[in-house]
Amino acid sequence: MSTPTIEPGHDLSEPDLSVVVGERRRLINLGYRLLGSLSEAEDAVQETYARWYAMSPRQRGAVDSPGAWLTTVAGRVCLDMLGSARVRRERYVGPWIPEPLPDRAEWAVVHTDGDRSETVDPADRVTLDESVNMAFLVVLESMTPAERVAFILHDVFRYPFAEVAEIVGRSPAACRQLASSARRRIGSSRAPAAPVAGQAALVRDFKEAWEAKDIKALVDLLDPEATMTADGGGLVGTVLRPVEGSRLIAQYLIHIADKAPGLTLLERTVNGRPGLVAQDAGVTATVAAFDLADGRITRIWAVRNPEKLRPWTEDGAS
């Protein structure tokens, strides 16, 4: 796809740098929801800014709305990346789970030198809301790239279909149909969300039952048809197929506890919902997100691929 057309304006002076840079947070938010990966979102935003600065100052000055220009380019970059990502994920070892994100207050500390450290500024990262909970992101993975882009831009970021059409490269009517199809996928796969307080209590009970190796308690906390999916990406050992059924999941968790007696479980916010972080010898080894219904756990997503755990691996996430 070509870059957006630059409309001639009255003032060809270059846009204020702070205005352009100030779009970064929104672009990262958009990129993460479109790609399900913070690292890929950062790559998309970097490519977007590279295209912006590849233009001459006069060309940049001719852009009426830098924010709209950057969003259009970022959307197109993400659309292209989604197409190639589908091919890469077909070759991925085991299931692919979106990259989990911690709460702002739990963000990793970046060590800048031997004497000092600083917390990664969450303003440059992702705002946590219902559109980034793990269950939502997993459903997005089932969509075509065009469905996902049209749905996220319109339903989450409230862009009119005329603007979505410019990004997706289809007519507004076609984009309306894409978003409608995506909406049906979301609606057919989601159970009503439990109150966060209830989720936290259930996850805490699950943590305590796991620590106690209480298989009966674990089975009682899990829906009989619960599913646990793990993502190691071929880089660490884990199950390569989903574990189905409350008893099999409970038995597998007890097996893990027996194999790693030093495992420490921490209650953490994962993509805006109560979750767990498992640390081995102080190093984050697994981040688990949960989906719940009717007072029981229905889905567990356990991310073990170390490349997806960067925000969790420094001191600030421990």
Q: Label the pairing between strands 243-244 and 222-231.
A: antiparallel
CATH no. for 196-312:
3.10.450.50
Query: What's the helix, strand, coil split of the chain in %, to 5?
Result: 50, 15, 30
Q: What tens digit of pLDDT does each residue of 243-258 get?
A: 999 999 999 999 999 9
Q: What tens digit of pLDDT does each residue of 131-179 get?
A: 889 999 999 999 999 999 999 999 999 999 999 999 999 999 999 999 9
Q: Residue 226 — very low, low, confident or very high, per pLDDT cuts 50/70/90? A: very high
125: closest CA among 141, 147, 103, 140?
103
Instruction: Write down the pTM of the prediction.
Output: 0.84
At 164 the pLDDT is 96
> Own/partner pairs for 56-59, CB < 8 Å, 24+ apart?
57/14, 58/12, 59/6
Q: What tens digit of pLDDT does each residue of 266-298 get?
A: 999 999 999 999 998 889 999 999 999 889 999
- Phi and psi at 227, nearest 5°, equal -130, 135
At 4 the pLDDT is 52
